Structure 1
Amino acid sequence: MAAVGTARSRGSRRPRGGSARVSRRDVLLGLFGPVAVAAAFVPVAAATRSLRAAEPPADIVFDETYRGRRIRGIRTSATSAGRVFDDAQWHVTVDGRPLHLMRRADGTWLSMVDHYRSYGTPLEATRAAVDELGPGRHLREGTEPHMGGDHGVHA
């Protein structure tokens, strides 16, 4: 009989008869194992979220190179007496020079380079202005291209 007791005390987890017995260690690992794994990923997820939070949303700012031109735009809200209005304005530049955009009554946007076509977003209107300017022409410093000269404005 001593041989049977010795075999069980040496680490045999299964009693005779084939039925599986679960130890406390197995139960604890089953309960707290997923929690430990999740806790290990919380700092990684928090760091990723804070990096995303640092980037402004696309409907507030854009900054990209399009057809070799640096286009930037930032949304500025129109305010009056502490109230913010929905009709936001945009400060847009092409290669550091200002491009004036206007919002139409239907919610679309147009630029002063081509004020006969409208676009769904300020970014689309800015890209279209770059397309219209072409590779060799630039916006004038301090003036809009529609204020005289041959700038390809559609009439």
Structure 2
Amino acid sequence: MATGIERTPKAPRNGRTRRGVMARGALAAALTPLLTAFRTPRSAADDGASFDRVHRGRRIRGTRDADGHWHVTLDGRPLHLMRRADGTWLSMVDHYCSYPAPLDAARAAVDALAPGEQLRGGGHGVRA
């Protein structure tokens, strides 16, 4: 039975409505994966200007120049690394997987090489 008086909901005192809070939460949930994809992964090797490690009997050395480019060698031979758009790294030896830092990519290259196999000295870092 209609009385002719319509009730209007009272606005919350803090200015927030349940619908508004839910919409902001949904927006944040939708944007989180997108923002995470553009985050640059970091590791200990990214923080310094160089590294010198031995992995499985092979010497991995890396230095970062003033422009931020990494120069990595594997047993004294250049290992070509590429930075992907998502901030990860891959090498020409193991170019099917990407890694969070140049040192991680170099270790994976060592793992992919057969014992005694060397890098070609042409600067590209591909297998011999």
Which of 60, 84, 95 is equivalent to 1:71? 60
Question: What is the rounded CA distance, in whole Å, between the counterparts of 1:59 and 1:115 in structure 2?
Answer: 24
Deviations 1:67-109 (A, max 9, x none): 010110001232xxxxxxxxx2100000000001111100000
Which of 128, 143, 146 is equivalent to 2:108? 128
1:106 aligns to 2:86 (yes or no): yes
SS of 1:136's partner is coil
Which residue of 1 is the match for residue 122 of structure 2? 142
* Letter aligned with residue 110 of structure 1: L
1:62 aligns to 2:51 (yes or no): yes
Which of structure 1's runs of 4+ aligned residues deviate more than 4 A? none
Residue 115 (structure 1) shift? 1.4
Name structure 1 gaps, 5 residues minimum: 1-56, 79-87
* Letter aligned with residue 119 of structure 1: Y
Question: What is the rounded CA distance, in whole Å, between the counterparts of 2:123 and 2:60 in structure 1?
Answer: 17
Compare relative contact order (CA 8 Å, sep 6+) and give the higher one, 1 or 2: 2
- Richer in helix (by share): 1
Bigger Cα Rg: 1
Cα 1:74–1:130, aligned 2, differ >3 Å: closer, same or farther?
same
Name structure 2 gaps, 5 residues minimum: 1-45
Percent identity between the aligned chains? 63
Contact 2:58–2:74 (8 Å) recurs in 1: yes
Contact 2:77–2:125 (8 Å) recurs in 1: no
How many positions carry a matched residue from both structures? 83
TM-score norm. by structure 2 comes to 0.59
TM-score norm. by structure 1 comes to 0.49
* Letter aligned with residue 92 of structure 2: M
